[in-house]
Amino acid sequence: EAQVTQNPRYLITVTGKKLTVTCSQNMNHEYMSWYRQDPGLGLRQIYYSMNVEVTDKGDVPEGYKVSRKEKRNFPLILESPSPNQTSLYFCASSLSALTGVTYEQYFGPGTRLTVT
């Protein structure tokens, strides 16, 4: 089954404790992206990757890191989480045109993160 998986689905952690949220897709998509969703603010893009070893900042990259060493995986790293990073996080993937995102995105199930 074609899918995007994220782990963990739920996480409660404390300020400053490094964490990684994994994202994996089995559709051989070049493009992957991370979003956070906060009430009243909609989906905001954190980082994206056009292909292996190619990553770029979205609109809200502060406090996050990503890597794209393999095509299928795109982990999101919070080196020192803070309470303002409490949010619902979505990973997404799609095929990509060389010039930008013109194909439908497939979203993972979401990760609800709480930082106390």
Binding site for other proteins (CB under 8 A): 31, 33, 35, 40-45, 48-50, 56-59, 90, 92, 96, 99-110
Looking at the Cβ atoms of 8 and 16, the one nearer to other proteins is 8
Looking at the Cβ atoms of 100 and 116, the one nearer to other proteins is 100
Minimum distance, C-beta of residue 73 to other proteins, in the bound complex (Å): 17
How many Å apart are CA 52 and CA 58, to the nearest integer? Answer: 17
Looking at the Cβ atoms of 44 and 72, the one nearer to other proteins is 44
Looking at the Cβ atoms of 16 and 75, the one nearer to other proteins is 75
Minimum distance, C-beta of residue 1 to other proteins, in the bound complex (Å): 14
- Written as one string, the DSSP assignment of 12-70 is EE-TT--EEEEEEESS--SEEEEEEEETTTEEEEEEEEEETTEEEE-S--TT-EE--SS
How many Å apart are CA 82 and CA 102, to the nearest integer? Answer: 34
Minimum distance, C-beta of residue 60 to other proteins, in the bound complex (Å): 10
Count of beta carbons in the 10 Å neighbourhood of residue 96: 19
